Amino acid sequence: YSTQDERAWARKKAQQWGKRNILWSLAGSSGHKVWPHLDAVIAGLMLTYQDVHVVLVGDEFCRVLEAGWENEPRVHRQCGKWSIRESMAFAEVADLIIGTETGLLNAAGMMDTPKIITLSHSSQENLTKHWVNTIALEQPEGVGCPKHPCHQLHGAEGHDPWEDCPQYADENIKAAQCQYHVDAQMMYDAIDQVLSRRLKQAA
């Protein structure tokens, strides 16, 4: 649970940055918990929603995923800067939380804040079934990884995280098939659904 000071800090940040803030958790504990279409969706948001700010969070290793957004004032690169408690406190005041199967998304599962999660090794049945206000995106039926949902913890006990996790066959993209096939349009449509709904509620 956030403290009173943490909540005050999060509210101040949200008011400072934008009318509407999206908190985006960039990666989890293994390679299959990275969604590869981030840049395309952020670019679309910047063009379509002039009042939306995107706050990118994650650990030090996630900084590489923030690359390219240094000169966009509405994209706030906080990977390796915010603690997990700060990210979780901001989740309470954000307008939308997006991410893969990460600790932050699990922590936010019962928050009223709208959430969009891209499922990898889990299914809606065994992860998000009872979460509040959540859109779970997963590869379309018959497309992508034939093992999805595999219910495997990849990379445990020193094993190569890709040892038994099918990757998308492109040397320029290192992503799990299950994540690659949740395409940018699926994510953008889900975001648009949430933001449009919240705009009507505010009116």
Distance CA 69, CA 75 (A): 7
pTM above 0.95, yes or no: no
Give pLDDT, residue 199. 56
Position 156 confidence tier, pLDDT thresholds 50, 70, 90: confident
Give pLDDT, residue 18. 74
Is a pLDDT exceeding 90 seen at residue 157? no
Shortest CA distance to 27 belongs to which of 190, 176, 177?
176
Rounded to whole angstroms, what are the CA distances from 22 to 95, 122, 140, 163?
A: 6, 24, 25, 33
Task: Compute the average pLDDT of residues 80-84.
Answer: 95
Give pLDDT, residue 158. 81
Task: Compute the average pLDDT of residues 175-198.
Answer: 92
Is a pLDDT exceeding 70 seen at residue 203? no
Tokens of 76: 């706030």
Give pLDDT, residue 191. 97
136 C-beta neighbours (distance < 10 Å), count? 18
Q: Are strands 96-99 and 115-118 parallel, antiparallel or unpaired?
A: parallel
The region of weakest confidence among 24-28, 60-64, 96-100, 172-176 is 172-176
Is a pLDDT exceeding 60 seen at residue 103? yes
Is a pLDDT exceeding 90 seen at residue 56? yes
Regarding predicted confidence, which is higher, 71 or 164?
Answer: 71
H-run or E-run covering 90: helix 84-91
Give pLDDT, residue 15. 92
Distance CA 195, CA 86 (A): 23
Distance CA 176, CA 46 (A): 27
Residues 6+ apart with CB under 8 A from 7: 89, 92, 93
Give pLDDT, residue 195. 92
Task: Compute the average pLDDT of residues 179-190.
Answer: 95
Give pLDDT, residue 198. 60
